[in-house]
Amino acid sequence: MKNTVKTLTLVGALALTLLCAGCSNGNDSSSEANSADTSASDTVKTAEASDAGSKATAEASDAESKATAEASDAESKATAEASDAESKVTAEASDAESKATAEASDAESKTTAEAVKTAEAAE
């Protein structure tokens, strides 16, 4: 950007010099020189504004990328936590089911054993 500004400044200075050279030849070019100087100044200001706009756009893009990455990380973390919680609940339910099945099996075995004893005693 600095090179562009320098180049534009040099072009403006060259234009001003050429216009002033016409003044020394007896031509009245002072208004043309002022116009060229103003035009060069406007060109430099436009280039600087463009550079500032590009910088602002890049900063906004970087901020958006950072926000997107943070949101993605938060979503991944929440998903992992939900998955862990679901796994824990599933494991607890499986353990409870296994315990209930074992208790029912023990109760059935006890009832069967008592029924056998009762039947043997009745014979």
Answer for the pair 2, 48: CB distance below 8 angstroms, yes or no.
no
107 occurs within a structural domain: no
101 occurs within a structural domain: no
The DSSP line for 18-31 is HHHHHHHTT---HH
Answer for the pair 9, 44: CB distance below 8 angstroms, yes or no.
yes
Residue that wins the pLDDT comparison between 23 and 95:
95
DSSP 25: T
Structural domain including 18 reads: 2-88
Residue that wins the pLDDT comparison between 114 and 35:
114
The pLDDT, as a whole number, for residue 53 is 86
116 occurs within a structural domain: no
43 occurs within a structural domain: yes
| pLDDT exceeds cutoff 90 at 90 | yes
**Domain count for the chain:** 1
The pLDDT, as a whole number, for residue 43 is 77
For 31-66, the pLDDT digits (tens) are: 555 666 677 777 778 888 888 888 999 999 999 999
44 occurs within a structural domain: yes
21 occurs within a structural domain: yes
Phi and psi at residue 64, to the nearest 5°: -65, -40
113 occurs within a structural domain: no
40 occurs within a structural domain: yes
